[in-house]
Amino acid sequence: MLPSPAGALPLFRFRGIAVSVHWTWFLVALYEVQTRQGLYRSPIWNAYEYLALFGIVLLHEFGHSLACRQTGGQADTIVLWPLGGVAFVSPPQRPGAQLWSIAAGPLVNAVLWPVLAGLSYLASRHWAQSAPDTVELIRQVARINLGLLIFNLLPIYPLDGGQILRSLLWFPLGRARSLLVATALGFVGVVGMAWLALHWESLWFGLLAYFAGVQCWNGFRHARALAQLE
């Protein structure tokens, strides 16, 4: 249940990796840009902010794809959609290769964090009077990047944090049992996400919980099949 490259508009290729944007991304972009008013003096800055989010997500996904290639795995497609981005990667079935392919995504955000924080500090010191919208944009981009980093590191399978946990458990527990444990923990997280979605009345969070739940269920079934094979 991931966005298929078939429903996506091809954008460009970089190092043999085809990047495309799913059609639903444009719908949500329109909605976000029109409803998020008041932060900036001119609404065009909402569009810039959304494009910056696009850029950060793209860099994160390239982190996954290029790391996966390094391990000898296959990674040739990235699709962006409203819930973030999906790098279609298949690293070799070794815990170390899986760990590096997954960890490299959040690592991009971790590297961007001090850069954006520094930029944000400098901007607010020097341009607060002359270019308040630019300062606000940099501040928002820094916040978005940090938010993405923290969210992605939550140990809820299939989020990156959950998959990192799975790769780490793979070393002592093996391929099947590590996935069983990670997806079982993932279900707890998905229930928590669904509760938060109801609590905050957030459709976006509800969708996220739904897709995470479906992926977690698929992972759990895969783990059981692997366990039977072993």
Of 105 and 162, which has the nearer Cβ to Zn ion?
105
Buried residues in 53-85 as b, exposed as e (16+ CB within 10 A): beebbbbbbbbbbbbbbebebebbbbbbbbbbb
Can you tell me the distance from the alpha carbon of 120 to that of 149, in angstroms, rounded to the nearest whole number? 17
Dig out the tokens for 36 from the structure.
């998020």
Does residue 120 contact residue 102 with C-beta atoms inside 8 Å?
no
Of 57 and 169, which has the nearer Cβ to Zn ion?
57
Cβ at position 119, least distance to Zn ion in Å: 23
Of 85 and 213, which has the nearer Cβ to Zn ion?
85
Of 137 and 153, which has the nearer Cβ to Zn ion?
153
Of 57 and 180, which has the nearer Cβ to Zn ion?
57
**Which residue's Cβ lies closest to Zn ion?**
105
Of 139 and 162, which has the nearer Cβ to Zn ion?
162
Cβ at position 85, least distance to Zn ion in Å: 8
Cβ at position 95, least distance to Zn ion in Å: 18
Question: In 10 A of CB 172, how many CB atoms?
Answer: 9
> Is omega for the bond preceding 114 within 30 degrees of 0, making it cis?
no
Cβ at position 60, least distance to Zn ion in Å: 6
The region, left, alpha or beta by phi > 0 then psi within -120 to 50, assigned to residue 10 is beta
Does residue 190 contact residue 213 with C-beta atoms inside 8 Å?
yes
Cβ at position 207, least distance to Zn ion in Å: 17
Can you tell me the distance from the alpha carbon of 174 to that of 33, in angstroms, rounded to the nearest whole number? 46
Cβ at position 89, least distance to Zn ion in Å: 10
Query: Applying CB under 5 A, which residues contact Zn ion?
Result: 105, 160
